[in-house]
Amino acid sequence: MDKDGNIVYKLGVLSTTKDVSVSLNLILKSDGYVKEENLSLFEYIPYIYNNNINSYKYYEIDNIPILQVNSLCRINSKDKSLEKFIENSKKLRGKDNIIIDLRNNTGGSMINIDKWYEGFTGTRLKKDIIEVGLYTNTSISLSKDKFKSKQNEPDDIKDKCLEKISSYEDKKYYPGWSPIEYEDFKHTENKTNIFILVDKNTSSAAEFLAYYLRKLNNVTLIGTNTNGCMLTGNCNSNYLPNSHIPINISHKIYMNKDFTNIDGLGLFPDLWVKPEQALDRIVKYINKNI
């Protein structure tokens, strides 16, 4: 999209290397005329937003609702904004247009996705992502340690999470892999135009939110491809005993039903725009065309 909100064509490629630039040799043909051009495309470095004090903020531009979702978990223990995010989902039903800003959202809790989806559509989200978890003494101990040390959750929430984690020790499959969870996605009618802003920092649960909303009608992703962090989840951190090197260990696996792995690729947008320009340009597009 250009600065006036018009859809235009521009050259771009996904790099398969770590090089900061990619050289292209173009052969342009028109009415028997041939011209050769050499171009260098440079890596896009996403802008980092560091001034977020809450997980969620609602505001409007030109009467268009903007849902700025900075995180799908609390940023601090006093942050109650995610409850407002879920509450607003019901109020947004029937709106002509909404913009969901997932730029720089590195994820959080899948439970918040389930609640928002159900609030907005009125139906339970049936996930067509294959999910399986490994529950052993090690994985459960790591999960407990993570929640005990969490500074962004109030004590009552941490207690509930620890109780849930402990309950896996009573499962028939413990210790071992849980049964595979999978459902066929149930299509739900949606007449609201939903525009989702994404960038390379949109990761994990934020990618799942975009993935499932994109299955509805009238949903458009704007920005760049997302992080591609959807293969594993529920990561726990620890240190190797001798070298003290920090490591992240996941005990959950998520996979598309066709078993494609988009790690590192992410979800591709429908409209490619530099993320820091995306909000302004999609507002102009809506005002001109919808």
Query: Residue 50: its pLDDT value, please?
Result: 63
> Which one is predicted more confidently, 15 or 27?
27
Enter the DSSP assignment of 152.
S
Which two three-digit tokens encode residue 107? Answer: 């994820």
Please give the mean pLDDT across all residues of the chain: 91
pLDDT at 13 over 80: no
pLDDT at 115 over 70: yes
Q: Calculate mean pLDDT across residues 160-174.
A: 93
Distance CA 147, CA 150 (A): 5
Q: Calculate mean pLDDT across residues 229-250.
A: 87
pLDDT at 199 over 80: yes
> Which one is predicted more confidently, 236 or 226?
226
CA angle 288, 190, 97 (to 5 degrees): 30
What's the Rg (C-alpha) of the chain? 21
pLDDT at 195 over 80: yes
Distance CA 39, CA 16 (A): 17
Which two three-digit tokens encode residue 9? Answer: 């064509």
Strand partners, 132: 253
Residues above pLDDT 70, as percent of the chain: 98
6 confidence band (pLDDT: 50, 70, 90): very high
pLDDT at 14 over 80: no
111 confidence band (pLDDT: 50, 70, 90): very high
Residues above pLDDT 90, as percent of the chain: 64
Distance CA 259, CA 281 (A): 35
21 confidence band (pLDDT: 50, 70, 90): confident
Largest Cα–Cα separation, the chain: 74
Q: What is the pLDDT of residues 40-88, one digit of tens each?
A: 888 777 766 667 789 999 999 999 999 999 999 999 888 999 999 999 9
Cβ burial of 227 (10 Å; 0-12, 13-18, 19+) is buried
